[in-house]
Amino acid sequence: SNGYSAQQTGTYLAGTWSVPSDWLTSCNGNGCKLFEATRPHWNQMPAAVQVSAADHITFTGNRFANLGQLALGIGQDANAHATGVGLGADTITATGNVFTQDAGGGIVVGGLQADAHHPSDSRMTNKNITLNDNVIHDVAIDYRDMTGLLVTYVNGASVSHNEVYNLPYSGLAIGYGWGVNDPGGSPDYANRGLYDYQPVYSTPTTAQNNTVTGNQIHDIMQQMADGGCVYTLSASPGSTITGNYCHNTNNYYGLYHDEGSRNFTDTNNVVRYTNQWLFAHVSSTHNTGALTATDNWTNNDNANISSTDGHGDTVSGTVVVTDGNWPSGAQTVMNNAGIEPQYRPLTTGAVTGPYSAYSSTPAATGQTGGFFTVTDAGTDIWGAGGQHDDTYGTVYQAGAAVNGTSVTARVDNIDNTNAWAKAGVVLRNNLTGSGSSPGYATVVVTPANGVSFQWDSNGDGYLDQLTSTATSVKAPVWVRLTRTATQVSGYYSTDGSTFTQIGSAVTLPSMAATQDAGVIHTAHSTTPGSATFSKLQIVTSPWRAYSSIPAAVSQSQGVTSLTSAGIDTWETTALHDDEYSAAYQPAAAGTSSTVTVHVDSQDNTNAWGKAGLMLRNNIAAAGSSAGYASLSVTPGNGVTLEWDSDSDGYVDKSTTKTGRSAPVWLRLVRSGTSVTGSYSVDGTTWTTVGTATLTGANSSLDAGTFFTAHAPTPGTASFSQFSIS
């Protein structure tokens, strides 16, 4: 009944206010004085879940979805709380929650009005707020001025390891007020007449000592303007922005310090695919300055802050990466940003095909693209020494393992519920046959007993023999089982490249010709525990699996499935992308070869998602290996032939035939350094897409299938009837 006139990030003007009779002339470039009269009275959007005048409350593992407003509000102004009491939030934590498909933003902490920034009672101060390992995506659907996460006036907010993506506006926003409430006020807003309606404060606001660390913010600014991955306003002494990975801002800013931003320190961030990677809104009347940016990585040198800009800023140690080869320090930041492994069980969705889930004890399983989680309170998986325990949770692919199959996964994390809690890979005739199905073997990592190769030696459906090694090795670690006829061998690796065998190969009695394969966990405790897995690969010789990003690669009964996200496989002057998952045969395509596959299906993650064939000197060397050509079908742009014209390891030339999507047949024909791509609806009549010239190609190239989603949202592509002749 009072109206809603949006201002920014969920704030709005309500009620009846006067408009100058000469507004066309008086409300000019210097602002509108009667509009400034409203600023101290702006309201905040109420949240679906509201916290105020409260302390020591934790939100963990919740899902905030399909809400018609802001999802979670912590210590907002009184007008945003149904109780009529606002602010006063102390030691509030939100960990491992999912925010999606909401009309408003994800989380707002803090208020806007006077008691928020200069509280009349110290108990009103919002302080000690922790927001970590939350997934915030596809929010602000209707109220598009809202961010994924906003912290206004707070003392001691920690915002860490969240993943924020697919937003119309900015990702994370820290601070509020455009500097008008900082000591001495803002000359700009003095000129506009604001201080006829509120005081000029002489003391700092409550905004200080806030940290933004290890977040991944990407694919934002999809509809609105003037924002970035991290957006700041006003002074915030002692506040840091460190170790975040920001990318794909639709040509807007990376780290954006807007009006009045002061005393922020930006360190060890990776900023990729933005306009200006570092930007400050400065003028003689804004007071923006005293900013420090140290040892950051970016793929462009476009910034308007420097140590000599006259605003008291310090910029040093910036590394500009123009060829896509990020230094190890930057790669560490990129790999560690976003959700930490121990919290992934709280944020995953349901397991999707071609994978299945089973548990012989109450359990929860989950999947997000190439990440899998299992949570259970299993007693154990062991059947010797008087034990007969086979209680576990598993995510697996039925009928995927035959002679020559390897199943590999990275155990990212395992909770320490017991020294003998177990997480790893498994082969079994039937993984739903707990306590009975033979052909059973695992390689697992434990919290305190290293890695262990365990198997069922007598076919009774219980593991009863083991070989353990590397007692100091803990997760993260790669584990592998390889089947040769009726024998199985176990391996582990600390880097994913060099694998060490555990003991010797063993024979499994009653091993079926076709088995289930996947990942397994048991807590070895009545206390539930979780394990997180990535890089699951189930392939049969001569096939190998590879992914330059977290992905799941599997084969079963002639069908190959690739599940991953991925920015793209493409290079321009500014872009260097080579993110994909693949199943391939090494050195299989000679100088006169024909490679054919049927793309059975492809998720529509983006009009330029790609699923198809790849030729390359080394498919397992993304961003570097030459001799590179691919033929792929897309959901919205037909079939495209792409190739590397200058041997730098990125495809940079293309030709496309529109009007075709999966299912479709694809074919690459190599003749020396020439490769011709074609597609067919029926596998008989072929349409030529184009011909490419390979550069730097070996006489024998790797050949296989690949997929990139061209999106932050993972997708799956399935292939069959692959052949090389």
Tens of pLDDT along 599-651? Answer: 999 999 999 999 999 999 999 999 999 999 999 999 999 999 999 999 999 99
For the segment 146-163, the average pLDDT, to the nearest whole number, is 99
d(CA 167, CA 227): 11
Please state, as a whole number, how many other Cβ atoms lie within 10 Å of the Cβ of residue 203: 9
DSSP per-residue string spanning 421-446: -EEEEEEES-TT-TTT--S-EEEEE-
pTM, full prediction? 0.91
Tens of pLDDT along 389-437? Answer: 999 999 999 999 999 999 999 999 999 999 999 999 999 999 999 999 9
Q: Contact, 376 vs 522, CB < 8 A?
A: yes
Q: What does DSSP say about strands 664-671 and 674-680: parallel, antiparallel, or unpaired? A: antiparallel
pLDDT of 28 > 80? The answer is: no
Of the given ranges (15-19, 227-231, 369-373, 692-696), which has the lowest mean pLDDT? 15-19
Task: Enumerate the CATH 2.60.120.200 domain ranges in the chain, comma separated.
Answer: 341-540, 545-724
H-type alpha helices, 518-629: none
Q: What is the pLDDT of residue 184?
A: 98
545-724: which CATH architecture?
A: Sandwich (2.60)
Tens of pLDDT along 64-77? Answer: 999 999 999 999 99
Q: Which CATH class is domain 341-540?
A: mainly beta
CA atoms within 13 A on the CB side of 210: 32
For the segment 528-538, the average pLDDT, to the nearest whole number, is 97
Q: How far is CA 8 from CA 13, 105, 191, in A?
A: 10, 11, 21
d(CA 238, CA 155): 10
The dihedral through the CA atoms of 167, 168, 173, 176 has a sign that is negative
On average, the pLDDT of the chain sits at 97
Q: Contact, 678 vs 667, CB < 8 A?
A: yes
For the segment 216-226, the average pLDDT, to the nearest whole number, is 97
For the segment 26-43, the average pLDDT, to the nearest whole number, is 89
pLDDT of 458 > 60? The answer is: yes
Query: What value, to the nearest 5°, has the Cα angle with vertex 501 and ends 498 and 507?
Result: 140
Q: Contact, 464 vs 457, CB < 8 A?
A: yes
- Percent of all residues in the chain with a pLDDT value above 90, rounded to a whole number: 95
